[in-house]
Amino acid sequence: MSEGVIPLQAYLIVAALMFALGAWGVTIRRNAVVVFMCVELMINAVNLTLVAFSDYLPKAHGAGSGYAVVVIAIAAAEVAVGLAIVIAVFRTRRTVNIDEIDSMKG
């Protein structure tokens, strides 16, 4: 168990802010690449909470860190796929502005 002077709440608050910032970005930024980066931000906020809990909850036996590693791996895969989609969209529509891509409109 760590004897860190930084309390758990501090980690959580930082993570919440990161998450909120990411969510904010996902909802309002137009550039698809930036949106992806914001998604990464949200994912990393979650990773931060996982690692923090893993450190502060002895009974978890470090499970949170394991989850964080899995999440990072998935995020990497997701970005690979996501960027491929963005490139494909750019090739067909000559734009990566996410609000112009609304062909699923009902």
Partner 1 sequence: MNTAGSQLIIAAIVGLPFMSFLACVFLGRRLKENAQYVSILAVTISLVFSIFALLWVAGVLPASGGQISFSVPWIGLGEDATFPMGVQIGHWTAVMLVIVCFVSLMVQLFSGGYMAGHPRFAWYYAVVSIFTGSMLGLVVSPNFIQAYFFWELVGGTSYLIHGFYFERPAATYAAQKAFIVNRVADAALFIGIMVFWRETGTTSFSGIAEAAKAGIIGQTALTIGLLLVLLGATGKSAQFPLHVWLSNAMQGPTPLSALIHAAAMIVTGVYVISRTYDIFVQSPTAMEVVAIVGAFTAFMAATMALVQKDIKQIIAYSTISQFGYVMLGLGVGAFTAGVFHIYTHALFKSLLFLLAANLGYAVAGSSDMRVMGGLKSRMPVTYWAFVVAGLALAGVFPFSGFWSKDAVIASAYEEGHYVLFALALLTVGLTAFYIFRGIFICFHGEPRSEDARKASEVPVIMRVPVVILAFLSVVAGWVGIPRGFGLPVKDVFGDFVRPDRFVQSVTHATPGLFSFVLAGISVLFALIGLFLAYVFVLARPQWAEALGRRLPVVHDFLLNGWYFDLCYDRLFVRPAKALGRAVRDFDLREVGGLVGGFGRGAGWAGEKLRSLQTGGAQNYALFILFGAFVVAVVASAQYSFIAVIVLVAFGLAAAAVGSRL
- Binding interface with partner 1 (CB under 8 A): 20, 23-24, 26-28, 30, 35, 98-99, 101-106
In the bound state with partner 1, the residue whose beta carbon lies nearer, of 3 and 102, is 102
Write down the least CB distance from residue 70 to partner 1, Å: 20
Q: What are φ and ψ of residue 97, in 5° steps? A: -75, 115
**Cβ(23)–Cβ(39) under 8 Å?**
no
Q: How far is CA 71 from CA 2, 46, 54, 59, in A?
A: 23, 9, 14, 21
In the bound state with partner 1, the residue whose beta carbon lies nearer, of 60 and 98, is 98
In the bound state with partner 1, the residue whose beta carbon lies nearer, of 73 and 100, is 100
